[in-house]
Amino acid sequence: MSRVRVLVVALIALAVVAFFTLGGQRYFSFEWVKEQQAAIQAYYDAHVWQTALAYFLVYVAVTGLSLPGAAVMTLAGGAVFGLLWGTVIVSFASSLGATLAFLASRFLLRDWVQTRFAGYMQGINEGVKKEGGFYLFTLRLIPAVPFFAINLVMGLVPIRTWTFYWVSQLGMLAGTIVYVNAGTQLARITSLKNILSWELIGAFLLLGFFPLIAKKVVDAVKARRVYARWQKPARFDRNLVVIGAGSAGLVAAYIAAAVKAKVTLIEKHRMGGDCLNTGCVPSKALIKSARVVSQMKNCKSYGLKNASVEVDFAAVMERVQRVVQAVEPHDSVERYSGLGVECLRGEARITSPWTVQIDGKTTLSTRAIVIAAGARPFVPPIPGIGTVDVLTSDNVWQLRSLPRRLAVLGGGPIGCELAQAFARLGAQVTQVEMLPRLLPREDVEVSALMAKQFTGEGIAVLTGHKALRVEAGTLVCEKDGREVRVEFDRLLCAVGRVANTKGYGLEELGIPLTKSRTVETNEYLQTLYPNIYACGDVAGPYQFTHTAAHQAWFAAVNALFGGLRKFRADYSVIPWATFTEPEVARVGLNELEAKERNIACEVSVYGIDDLDRAIADGVAHGMVKVLTVPGKDRILGATIVGEHAGDLIIEFITAMKHGIGLNKILGTIHIYPTLAEANKYAAGVWKKAHAPQGVLRQVERFHAWMRG
């Protein structure tokens, strides 16, 4: 402990001793409190107006200067003035004090904040102009945000002073009554036995439950406002209608059917959505063929003299389709109908918060709706891009002849997976990424490993290259102020995916989007309309099949049972993998994010080049990198680069989800020789760094002594 801290502790101890030595304990006695109360009451009875005025002025000063103590003063107000007058005085004093604090904040800080944070303030200003009064009212009614903070923050935004005053007074009235009432009950205690009186317990229960009750009231008021322009049907045909039969929609519909709700799933295109038809499944099938080619070409390193390999690209792509067909039954109409889901084909359109129209004809009424409309590849508006037949993850599966020269735009997971697969199948691939490295969300050394692997496989990796325009068969990029020309036969765009938000009623219902153009939802996955939910790629922020399914559970359960209990979507442990070779898998934080978010962590790295099984398999490359809380074995995140990283990461996902630390992973038997041992060795790296050196020195002495 530092000397300053020791001094502070000593001073506090001294003050405590002095307090009790001088008889301070009498202030803790019930009798003392009652004496003070009686004295105040006597003064009040003799000087009614003076007492009320003095209390009023002190209250205004405390709140106007944003000093702590308003809650205690309110209780005291109830104790002295009773429920009616206590409420009247506190209500006016708190509103006046709040307005003074508001004006001070406005006078001193508003111009500076508005100029300094102009970007952030623009949206807030617009929101306050539109909804300011109602927003303030809800903040006042639900005492979740401290009173003084609301005053100061509201001073910075464009709300009129008079509006601030009266909305504050109205919004705080219910809370004031509850507090003043608790004060009056406190004043009635005549002996310690009365503390357990029903009146007092009731008053404090009300105090405790008030924020919850207020929140329910505000939610109900908000819902009324949102639904005001719509005619609610008297009864509903269905409990739930799900729009889109991709990963999210299928799970939402399945959950609903499993709990015996009447659910309809509407799909305009193909059951299974992106994942089955144009995403995970075909990409992994293509990657497998490409990997076989790579292994065969690498046969000499396994002691095989030669293995001739000739790629029949059309046959590879036919196999991809066969794999899709083989998985198709899992997502089929037959299977889901059998599970109790009504599956309808057609384009869904939300026509009111409770009605969905199919292909402009049939209209279904439903108590709740889940939007699971997915996303589509984004094609950037680069000049000239419209002149070429661009490949995306949507149409690349129709190719039957291998492009000789393939330019891949985008260095994210999809770009990397496809670039490597096409290169291995024989295309001359140039990968163009605007940012300085591939897989920019991962740690720097992960990107470096990937770039080294790709370059070694003959892929031209052009990071830090910005695509400027497309000219007949050439992608013109810019790197450090000079133009770089990339000749191609086909151009594959993999620069991200945009949510499908147009053409099915969101605009008409006024359902807002986020800055990333996904459907805006709250933590329960509710949109602006509490009975309309969104999940999967259309809602973000993650774009994976497993996160879509995860969200779908919350959306479906909340949609069906939200009236009883709602569940917040839990994003505490989100894993993902990029299925390149080597694979990259991650859960939780990486070092980059920990730095960005200023989260202190320790890093333990185990190099897979040292792992027996990896050496035997000829895949001795990559690493296991684990982030832990400093001085503790609690895992904040893990990244694995290497063979089967996507499978190996499960151990860390489970550990994080269930609060298991590295000590326990280290203490678990891992089968020898497996790749999974790498996880245990990473835990060992952490343990070694935390070996208790002092204890070990003593033990060493003990052994020396034992040897005689």
Structural tokens at position 16 = 């405590």
* Stretch 381-410 residues interacting with ligand FAD (CB under 6 A): 393
Do residues 545 and 247 touch, judged by C-beta distance below 8 A? yes
Closest distance to ligand FAD from the beta carbon of 552 (Å): 8
184 binds ligand FAD (CB under 6 A): no
Structural tokens at position 430 = 């140039």
* Stretch 546-605 residues interacting with ligand FAD (CB under 6 A): 546, 548, 579
Contact with ligand FAD (CB under 6 A): which of 105, 500, 521, 590? 500
Closest distance to ligand FAD from the beta carbon of 267 (Å): 5
* Stretch 334-353 residues interacting with ligand FAD (CB under 6 A): 347-348
Sign of the dihedral through C-alpha 440, 444, 445, 451: positive
Do residues 538 and 372 touch, judged by C-beta distance below 8 A? yes
Nearest to 582 by CA among 621, 613, 615: 621
462 binds ligand FAD (CB under 6 A): no
Closest distance to ligand FAD from the beta carbon of 304 (Å): 31
Which span (93-101, 190-198, 269-277, 620-628) binds ligand FAD, by CB under 6 A? 269-277
Contact with ligand FAD (CB under 6 A): which of 187, 293, 373, 665? 373
Which position has the token pair 């103590």? 69
Contact with ligand FAD (CB under 6 A): which of 180, 274, 286, 327? 274
Return the number of the residue (168 or 393) whose C-beta is nearest ligand FAD: 393
Closest distance to ligand FAD from the beta carbon of 450 (Å): 16
Beta-carbon count within 10 A of 264 CB: 22
Q: SS3 letters for 301-341?
A: HHCCCCCCCCCCHHHHHHHHHHHHHHHHHHHCHHHHHHCCC
Closest distance to ligand FAD from the beta carbon of 692 (Å): 42
273 binds ligand FAD (CB under 6 A): yes
Ordered DSSP codes for 459-477:
-EEEET-EEEEEETTEEEE
Do residues 465 and 434 touch, judged by C-beta distance below 8 A? yes
Contact with ligand FAD (CB under 6 A): which of 443, 537, 593, 633? 537
Return the number of the residue (347 or 602) whose C-beta is nearest ligand FAD: 347
Contact with ligand FAD (CB under 6 A): which of 397, 504, 554, 652? 504
Which span (116-124, 268-276, 335-343, 432-440) binds ligand FAD, by CB under 6 A? 268-276
372 binds ligand FAD (CB under 6 A): yes
Contact with ligand FAD (CB under 6 A): which of 529, 544, 554, 681? 544
Number of residues that bind ligand FAD (CB under 6 A): 37
Do residues 608 and 621 touch, judged by C-beta distance below 8 A? yes
Could you give the C-alpha distances from 703 to 72, 272, 691, in angstroms and in order?
A: 64, 65, 18
Return the number of the residue (519 or 682) whose C-beta is nearest ligand FAD: 519
Contact with ligand FAD (CB under 6 A): which of 128, 139, 414, 611? 414
Phi/psi-derived region of residue 505, left when phi > 0, alpha when psi is between -120 and 50, beta in every other case: left
Which span (92-100, 220-228, 545-553, 672-680) binds ligand FAD, by CB under 6 A? 545-553
Closest distance to ligand FAD from the beta carbon of 465 (Å): 22
Closest distance to ligand FAD from the beta carbon of 275 (Å): 4
- In 562-575, which positions are buried (b, 16+ CB within 10 angstroms) versus exposed (e)? beeebeebeeebbb
Closest distance to ligand FAD from the beta carbon of 280 (Å): 4
> At 342, phi and psi to the nearest 5?
-85, 115
Q: SS3 letters for 549-572?
A: HHHHHHHHHHHHHCCCCCCCCCCC
Count of all residues that appear for the chain in the document: 708
* Stretch 187-246 residues interacting with ligand FAD (CB under 6 A): 243-246
Could you give the C-alpha distances from 550 to 224, 255, 258, 277, 523, in angstroms and in order?
A: 30, 11, 16, 20, 13
Half-sphere exposure (Cβ direction) of 238: Cα atoms closer than 13 Å: 27
Q: Which residues bind ligand FAD (CB under 6 A)?
A: 243-249, 266-269, 273-275, 278-280, 283, 347-348, 372-375, 393, 414, 500, 504, 536-538, 543-546, 548, 579
